[in-house]
Every structure is written in C-alpha cells, then in structure tokens.
C-alpha cells in the first residue's frame, strides 16, 4: 500500500531568478531510513536499498517493507534531517575565501536514504535541486547529488502524471522542484571566469556557464552572443543532451573594460539566430599588480578551467622563481592566490584541483596541477632550478603527494597544515582502506598504491622540505606534522619544521604566506641534471610517475607494486640496485660520444653501452637473472605514455559513447548511465564531455581521444571498432576473459583497453551481460579521488550485498597488454 502524497499548501511558492520566473515546490515531508551501504575510495560498493530496488523487492514506506522507515518533517529552514544527524556548515575557515555552503564530512551520505514523493497533475519536466545528498533515484533513474550543498546542481527531470518517487541518499537535505517557463536556460550559479588584466591581450577572453536543456531532444546549433561595453562575440556551442545540462565555454571581448572593478557582460542564447534566453554576469578588471584569474582549455576533457596568479612585484621577469600553491578543501584558487603578498623574486600560481574539493590533488586534481604548472612555465619562463611547491590543508596533502610523486620538479616543498595520506585522513570520500586479508581486495587496493605517500618518503631526500603547522589545529591535528617530522628525521639531511604557537587550522594569511617558509625556499635550488650523480627514486605506477632526472622506470615486473631504483654514476660508469623493474631507460647528458659506458645493475652481468652522441639514451631490460640492452619498446606496449588502470581512459578529451543496438531497456540504461557519469564529472571536476550514440563514433573523427563505452558487444555498435582484439569480451549472458568464462545476465565489468592506432588514448568499458549486470555497474566510485581500479574487474550483481565476495576476477594485463593468470585474482 502506497502512502498518500506528502504535500502541503505551504510547500508551493513562486521563485524568481534574473533570467526566468518559475514555480518552486519545496519538499517538506518524507521518510528516512538508515541501512547498510559502502561507498568510498575503492572499487567495491554495497547498497542494500539499491539491491532491493533492482531486484524489485523494494517496498515503499508504510507497506510491509523490511526497511525501517521513519516519517520526517522539514524544519523552519526547509531542511529534512534525522534526529541523529545535524547540519554542519563549513566548520570554521579551512583556508582563504572558503566556499560558501561547503561541508566537511563524508560524501557517502552517512548510510541512509530519504523517500520523497511528488504528485504531478500532468507529465512535465522540472528542475530538481537537492543539497546535502550524494545521489538520487528519480522514478528509478540515477542522478548525481550535491553532497557539499553548493546549490548549483539543477537536474532536468521528467515527471510522469501522478505519483513520482525520489530515493535520496543522504540524511540532511533540502530539496525542491522548479518549473521553469522556458525550456532552455542559461544558469549563472556556477561560473568559470577570467579577470581582465591590464597590459595583456583582453580581446579574446573565455568564460563558461551552464546551459540547461529541459526538452526531450538533444539541442545542436546553439550559440551564445556576449556583449561587453558594445563589443560583441558569438560562440558556437557543443550539443546539449536531452533532459540534461552542459557547462559550455563562451568568448567575450574585455578590451574596453579598462577601469578596475566590475563590468557587466550581457549573454544571449541563440537558436537558429533567434534569442531564447538571456543572462547577465560581471567580470572584474584588476588593478595593476593585483592577483587575477586566467582561463584555459584543459587537455583532460576539453572543458574550460582556470588558475589564479599573484604576480611578481614590479611585473613578471623571466628566469625568476615560480611558486605553485595548492589549496585546501572548499577553497577557490582565486582565494588561495590572494592570501599571498607579491614577492620581488617570483610569481605564484594557484591551480584549482578542478573544484574547491575536486580530487584531493590526486587523479585529475594531479593532472590539473601539472597542466597549470606547464602553462605557468611557458608563460612566465622561470628559472627551472627555482620552482617550488606549497599548499594548505588538503593542499598540504597535495604538497606531500605531488612532492613525492614528482620529486625532480621542485627545488623545495612546504606543506602547511597538511596530512600525508588518505589512508589516515579521509576527507570527503572517506579513508582509503589501509590493508586487507582478502586477496581480491588486495589486488583492488594495489591499484591505488601511488597514493600512499608514506611508502614514497625516500623521494623527499633531494628536496628541501619546510613543514608548517599550528599546534592548536583541530581540523588537521598537528600529530600529522609531527609524524612526518619523525619520519624525515630518520633520513632527511635538509628539512625545517615549525609549529605556530596557538595556531588553529587557519590563523590568517601567514598560515601560508609565512616569511620563514619563503626564506627557506630562497636558500634552495634544484640542481641541474648533469650534476646529479646519485638517484634514489620510487614509484608505484609508471603511468603516473616514471622519471627522476636521468633515469626512468618504463615497465614493472609486478604491476602497480612499488618499484625503486638506487643508482650512482661516476667516471667508471653507472651501477646500482633495482626493485620491481622490468625495463629501465637511462638518458645521458654531456657524455663523450663513441666512448663505452659500463653499466652494472643488481650485481648481475656488466653491460657496455657506447653512446652515439652526447645526449644519447639506452633501454635496459631485466630478463631472468640478467640485464640486456634493448631497443625502445613500441608504443603499443605499456609505458609511461599509457600504463593502464581503468581510470586512465578518463583523459585525452574523452567522449562518452552509449548504446543503441541493445534492447530498449539496455539502451535506456546506457544513455542514463552516460548522463549520470557526465553529471558526476561536472559536479566533481567542473568538467564537460561529449555524449554520443555508438553509431556516431569513428576512429577517424575521434582520433586520439579517450572513450568511455557503455554497453556490451551486442548492444554497443562501437564495440567492434574499439574492442574486437580485446581478450575480455562481454556479450549478452556471457563473459569471456582469457580462460575464465561466466554465464548469466547478472555480470558487470569495468575494464580498460588501448585504442588501436593511438599511442596514448584508451577505452574504458562499463558493461554488463544483461540488464541486471548493467545495473550492478551503476555506481561510479572511480571518480572518488585516489580510489583504486585495476585494469579489469568482473563481478556479479550480488556484489551490492556481498562486497568483495561478489567480485570474481580482477587484475592487470602484462606489459604487452596480454592476460596473464599470474597477474589476476579469481574468487571461487
């Protein structure tokens, strides 16, 4: 028996925005239940409610459900929450300019769901806005949530006539439906904008905003016309999927914004040349010498991102210092940059991590930091021996992580109020599980080994390290700094440590802009490669970090376990030890051509290499109990350019490809899953992706672009283009992975495969043998920062209840992208 509609007269009101008027319905009553679920920084997830939903066992509150639902009413702020939960704000300042509405705590929703209903007088579309949830099922369709209560996630949803049901994962939320008068809308809640900077070219600036499509058809051929001080620019827009949204870039001319302060930009959305919506926003023209923001098109997904700059005092000059600053959770890069006063000996740039919370500076947060570092080096032309890294809170973790991962990039690093590893301080998505006795969980956790800074501490040895922490910090306790002080004290010859007396997590701008810290930087420089005679370098994934100075770990013997090289070079040659290295590359500088170099590794056979020129290189392969000189491996093999793991495909301007050749239910699942992942990518990573049907895909049209494929060999027409030669095949009712074969409609799979004809791009496959298996693949914990996903993972629908016992096969391809039973784990 269904409960009657939970609606009251006071729940319906009129809301207005600058661009459109609409009715707003606020959810003020519902039901709540706490129940088992597991979502975190790992591939495995469990969810009792979702399991019941997809097995058609889920019963609504008030019926004979075995879930213990309790009725709930909103408080005076229209917030629905349990008696056990409490709404938490930002918890005090975590850093400069903390983003309003941001929350501390887990993204997992604390193990509960709310059940809400709305009775619609007709079939119609609406915009759903929920704050405080991790995800929501709307009449069975999965959508991304807004766990940090940012407020800018407006989801176009299709309402049927009569009862509409919402299962919301979260225990403290606000929720409303709006009914816009226009079907296509510009939304200015979530802008990415540059500053207008005096003395630079401001004619071709780019910003970005969200276009909402509440229609049931994909929109193409749209344009945005911008007008600033009479200067017009028209930008062609990419396709906007049906019942969805996309953040799009638009151009504008800021050359007439010559006075410091805010300047209005009028935007007009055009369809076939006719206006269909308008919006107004402001851009800021900066005073000379002030911190400012710049936008750029990211190579990760082709979306528009930004970075912030605190310029050098007196203007930029080449061959000066460069400081990369990484912010804390909830902090914008623009606020991070403003916390620093200009320095007379260098420029400071602040990356975004793709969002104020983003990816904890791992995964795509790491790639964002590297993109911004590369842009800053090209733009400001710093002295490469004077590049420094620092950050606060989550950015303190980012400093520890990026410092250990790329130790040859920095002259010095300075983590402030930071924690070293996500195994000890979980932040938003919880902790990375430290270990497991289960072999299946071990191989899954192995996929995230690159995140464990404590295993990589020896990489700090060549760097200057300055640790700053307030001794009264209750957000990130000073014990983390003391832990690293003790570890560094055992081996590091050159680090400095300071506890600020009485300092809380944020004790003003000096929490980051600390003079002794920058004095310490000034005393340190990065040696040039030719002067470095000793190398001690570790990595867990050569696809993330392979190189230190003149040596590069190209391939491993055991994938994603820790590899180490300890090498010395002198006039007699090169010697040293290796661990878990299958292929090593040595790059020479200023050697004498045609003069033999003796190389001895692991006390095995000595090799003689004769360089043909002063900057020659050599590849060394370990073959059994000896080393051998080999030619460079083909780019079709694993290497730093493409080393695998499922998540690696989410770069190279990836495109989402959904199926059209399956059953109507399979195709609808595929389209909805692509939309859900696009919503998640937008929310977590400020991203935007092309979503296309399988028949629109071709290798030529999407050359060298990553692909995320949803479906199986029968349902997705792009399968035979991308995966015909893959040793893993997912067909209707059958899985074949090498010698392993599984039957039934309840198998799900995540796996990666290199794209033929590309040296860098891969396809990631989200698949199932039938609708039940596809439903098992709905979650996308691969977007959680530092979550470990191997090359392939095959599981049954029962994983939603049984966890790792439901995973039947997981592991890695060998270095030739072949299946090897020694590199996988099979559950009985």
Look at residues 471, 476, 467 and name the one whose alpha carbon lies nearest to residue 514: 467
Tell me the average pLDDT across 227-252: 98
Residue-wise pLDDT for 493-535, tens only, equals 999 999 999 999 999 999 999 999 999 999 999 999 989 999 9
In angstroms, rounded to a whole number, what is the distance separating the alpha carbons of residues 485 and 496? Answer: 9
In angstroms, rounded to a whole number, what is the distance separating the alpha carbons of residues 632 and 624? Answer: 19
pLDDT at 85: 54
pLDDT at 502: 97
pLDDT for 17 beyond 60: no
Give the chain's domain count: 5
Task: Tell me if 263 is assigned to some domain.
Answer: yes
Per-residue pLDDT band for 307 (boundaries 50, 70, 90) equals very high
User: Could you tell me if 208 and 85 lie in one domain?
Assistant: no
User: Could you tell me if 279 and 302 lie in one domain?
Assistant: no
- What lies within 8 Å, CB to CB, of 497 at 6+ separation is 466, 467, 481, 485
Task: Say which CATH number the domain at 506 has.
Answer: 3.40.50.1820
Per-residue pLDDT band for 289 (boundaries 50, 70, 90) equals very high
Tell me the average pLDDT across 397-420: 98
User: Could you tell me if 622 and 509 lie in one domain?
Assistant: no
What SS3 class is residue 441?
A: helix
pLDDT at 21: 53
Kindly give the interhelix angle for 394-405 and 364-380, rounded to the nearest 10 degrees. Answer: 70
Tell me the average pLDDT across 75-97: 64
State how far the alpha carbon of 84 is from the alpha carbons of 63, 419, 780, in Å: 24, 29, 28
- What lies within 8 Å, CB to CB, of 571 at 6+ separation is none
Task: Tell me if 26 is assigned to some domain.
Answer: yes
Tell me the average pLDDT of the chain: 93
Task: Tell me if 334 is assigned to some domain.
Answer: yes
User: Could you tell me if 679 and 707 lie in one domain?
Assistant: yes
Number of H helices, E strands in the chain: 11, 50
Phi and psi (nearest 5°) for 217?
Answer: -125, 145
Task: Tell me if 535 is assigned to some domain.
Answer: no
pLDDT at 431: 87
pLDDT at 64: 81
Q: What percent of the chain clears pLDDT 90, i.e. is strictly above it?
A: 89
pLDDT for 265 beyond 50: yes
pLDDT for 553 beyond 90: yes
Task: Say which CATH number the domain at 662 has.
Answer: 3.30.379
pLDDT at 714: 98
User: Could you tell me if 693 and 812 lie in one domain?
Assistant: yes
pLDDT for 712 beyond 90: yes
Tell me the average pLDDT across 808-815: 98
Task: Tell me if 538 is assigned to some domain.
Answer: no
Q: Do the beta carbons of residue 570 and residue 558 sit within 8 Å?
A: no
Q: Do the beta carbons of residue 698 and residue 692 sit within 8 Å?
A: no
User: Could you tell me if 719 and 754 lie in one domain?
Assistant: yes
What SS3 class is residue 805?
A: helix
Q: What percent of the chain clears pLDDT 70, i.e. is strictly above it?
A: 94
User: Could you tell me if 22 and 168 lie in one domain?
Assistant: yes
Per-residue pLDDT band for 818 (boundaries 50, 70, 90) equals very high
In angstroms, rounded to a whole number, what is the distance separating the alpha carbons of residues 9 and 587? Answer: 74
pLDDT at 98: 47
Residue-wise pLDDT for 762-794, tens only, equals 999 999 999 999 999 999 999 999 999 999 999
pLDDT at 483: 97
Task: Say which CATH number the domain at 226 has.
Answer: 2.60.40.10
pLDDT at 82: 85
User: Could you tell me if 275 and 303 lie in one domain?
Assistant: no
Per-residue pLDDT band for 84 (boundaries 50, 70, 90) equals low
Per-residue pLDDT band for 50 (boundaries 50, 70, 90) equals very high
pLDDT at 517: 98
Q: Report the relative pairing of strands 29-34 and 37-38 from DSSP bridges.
A: unpaired
User: Could you tell me if 599 and 747 lie in one domain?
Assistant: no
Task: Tell me if 524 is assigned to some domain.
Answer: no
In angstroms, rounded to a whole number, what is the distance separating the alpha carbons of residues 516 and 726? Answer: 56
Residue-wise pLDDT for 27-40, tens only, equals 999 999 998 899 99
Q: Report the relative pairing of strands 172-180 and 141-144 from DSSP bridges.
A: unpaired
Per-residue pLDDT band for 6 (boundaries 50, 70, 90) equals very low
Tell me the average pLDDT across 733-743: 97
Burial letters 765-778, b for 16+ CB under 10 A, else e: bbbbbbbbbbbbbb
Question: For 59-68, 234-243, 665-674, 698-707, which range has the lowest pLDDT when averaged over its residues?
Answer: 59-68
Look at residues 592, 698, 612, 619 and name the one whose alpha carbon lies nearest to residue 655: 698
pLDDT at 262: 97
User: Could you tell me if 668 and 739 lie in one domain?
Assistant: yes
Phi and psi (nearest 5°) for 622?
Answer: -90, 120
Look at residues 319, 310, 301, 377 and name the one whose alpha carbon lies nearest to residue 347: 310
Look at residues 213, 19, 246 and name the one whose alpha carbon lies nearest to residue 127: 213
Residue-wise pLDDT for 359-368, tens only, equals 999 999 999 9
Per-residue pLDDT band for 572 (boundaries 50, 70, 90) equals confident
User: Could you tell me if 722 and 821 lie in one domain?
Assistant: yes
pLDDT at 614: 86
Tell me the average pLDDT across 728-753: 97
Domain boundary among 630, 661, 680: 630
pLDDT at 725: 97
Tell me the average pLDDT across 258-286: 97
CB atoms within 10 A of CB 745: 15
Q: Which residue has the tokens 């904890």?
A: 360
CB atoms within 10 A of CB 254: 27
Residue-wise pLDDT for 139-193, tens only, equals 999 999 999 999 999 999 999 999 999 999 999 999 999 999 999 999 999 999 9
pLDDT for 104 beyond 50: no
pLDDT at 592: 85
Task: Tell me if 540 is assigned to some domain.
Answer: no
Task: Tell me if 238 is assigned to some domain.
Answer: yes
User: Could you tell me if 728 and 807 lie in one domain?
Assistant: yes
Residue-wise pLDDT for 118-141, tens only, equals 999 999 999 999 999 999 999 999
What H or E segment, with its residue span, contains residue 395?
helix 394-405
Domain boundary among 182, 210, 232: 182
Expressed as residue numbers, the domain containing 146 is 9-182
Q: Do the beta carbons of residue 139 and residue 191 sit within 8 Å?
A: no
Domain boundary among 156, 182, 208: 182
* DSSP annotation of 631: P
Write out the two tokens for 699.
Answer: 């290798």
């Amino acid at each position: 028996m269904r409960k009657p509609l939970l609606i009251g007269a006071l729940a319906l009101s009129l809301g207005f925005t600058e661009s459109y008027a609409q009715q707003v319905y606020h959810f003020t009553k519902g039901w709540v239940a706490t129940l088992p679920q597991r979502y975190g920084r790992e591939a495995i997830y469990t969810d009792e409610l979702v399991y019941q939903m997809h097995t058609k066992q889920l019963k609504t509150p008030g019926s004979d459900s075995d879930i213990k639902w309790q009725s709930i009413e909103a408080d005076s702020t229209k917030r629905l929450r349990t008696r056990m939960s409490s709404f938490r704000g930002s918890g005090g300042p975590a850093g400069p300019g903390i983003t309003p509405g941001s929350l501390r705590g887990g993204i997992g929703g604390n193990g509960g769901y709310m059940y809400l209903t709305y009775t619609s007088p007709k079939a119609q579309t609406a915009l759903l806005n929920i704050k405080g949830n991790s995800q929501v099922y709307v009449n069975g369709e999965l959508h991304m949530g807004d766990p940090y209560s940012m407020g800018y996630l407006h989801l176009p949803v299709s309402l049927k006539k009569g009862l509409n049901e919402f299962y919301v994962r979260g225990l403290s939320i606000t929720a409303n439906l709006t009914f816009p008068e226009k079907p296509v809308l510009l939304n200015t809640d979530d802008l990415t904008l540059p500053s207008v900077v005096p003395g630079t070219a401001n004619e071709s600036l780019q910003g970005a905003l969200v276009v909402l499509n509440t229609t049931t058809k994909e929109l193409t051929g749209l344009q945005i016309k911008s007008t600033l001080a009479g200067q017009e620019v028209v930008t062609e827009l990419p396709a906007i999927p049906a019942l969805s949204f996309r953040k799009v870039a638009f151009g504008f001319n800021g050359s007439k914004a010559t006075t410091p302060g805010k300047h209005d930009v009028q935007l007009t959305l055009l369809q076939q040349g006719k206006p269909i919506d308008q919006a107004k926003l402001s851009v800021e023209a900066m005073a000379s010498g002030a911190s400012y923001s710049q936008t750029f098109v990211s190579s990760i997904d082709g979306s528009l991102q930004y970075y912030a700059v605190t310029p050098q005092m007196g203007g930029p000059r080449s061959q000066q210092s460069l400081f990369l600053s990484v912010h804390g959770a909830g902090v914008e890069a623009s606020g991070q940059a403003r916390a620093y006063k200009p320095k007379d000996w260098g420029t400071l740039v602040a990356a975004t991590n793709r969002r104020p919370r983003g990816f904890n500076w791992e995964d795509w947060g790491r790639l964002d930091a590297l993109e911004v570092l590369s842009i800053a080096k090209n733009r400001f032309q710093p002295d490469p021996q004077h590049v420094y890294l620092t950050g606060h809170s989550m950015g303190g973790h980012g400093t520890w992580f990026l410092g250990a991962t790329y130790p040859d990039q920095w002259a010095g690093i300075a983590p402030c109020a930071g924690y070293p590893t996500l195994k000890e301080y979980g932040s938003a998505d919880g902790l990375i599980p430290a270990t497991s006795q289960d072999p299946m969980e071990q191989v899954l956790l192995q996929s995230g080994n690159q995140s464990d800074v404590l295993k990589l501490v020896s990489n700090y040895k060549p760097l200057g390290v300055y640790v700053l922490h307030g001794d009264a910090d209750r957000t990130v306790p000073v014990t983390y700094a003391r832990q690293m002080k003790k570890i560094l004290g055992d081996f590091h010859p050159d680090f400095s440590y300071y506890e600020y007396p009485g300092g809380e997590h944020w004790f003003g701008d000096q929490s980051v802009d600390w003079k002794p810290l920058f004095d310490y930087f000034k005393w340190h420089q990065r040696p040039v490669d030719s002067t470095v005679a000793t190398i001690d370098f570790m990595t867990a994934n050569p696809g993330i970090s392979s190189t230190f100075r003149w040596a590069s770990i190209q391939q491993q013997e055991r994938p994603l376990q820790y590899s180490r090289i300890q090498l010395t070079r002198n006039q007699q040659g090169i010697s040293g030890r290796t661990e878990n290295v299958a292929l090593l590359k040595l790059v020479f500088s200023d050697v004498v051509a045609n003069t033999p170099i003796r190389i001895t590794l692991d006390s095995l056979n000595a090799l003689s290499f004769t360089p043909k020129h002063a900057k020659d290189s050599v590849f060394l392969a370990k073959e059994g109990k000896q080393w051998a000189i080999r030619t460079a491996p083909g780019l079709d093999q694993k290497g730093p350019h493409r080393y695998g793991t499922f998540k690696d495909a989410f770069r190279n301007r990836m495109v989402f490809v959904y199926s059209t050749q399956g059953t109507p239910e399979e195709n609808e699942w595929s389209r909805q899953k692509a939309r859900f992942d696009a919503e998640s990518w937008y929310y977590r990573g400020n991203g935007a992706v092309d979503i296309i049907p399988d028949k629109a895909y071709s290798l030529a049209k999407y050359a060298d672009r990553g692909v995320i494929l949803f479906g199986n060999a029968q349902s997705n027409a792009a399968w035979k283009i991308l995966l015909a030669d893959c040793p893993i095949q997912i067909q209707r009712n059958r899985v074949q992975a090498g010698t392993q074969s599984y039957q039934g409609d309840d198998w799900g799979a995540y796996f990666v495969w290199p794209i033929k004809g590309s040296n860098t791009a891969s396809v990631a496959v989200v698949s199932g043998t039938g609708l039940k298996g596809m439903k098992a693949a709905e979650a996308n914990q691969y977007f959680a920062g530092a979550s470990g996903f191997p090359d392939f993972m095959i599981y049954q629908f029962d994983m939603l209840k049984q966890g790792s016992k439901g995973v039947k096969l997981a592991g890695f391809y060998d270095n030739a992208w072949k299946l090897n039973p020694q590199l996988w784990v099979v559950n009985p």
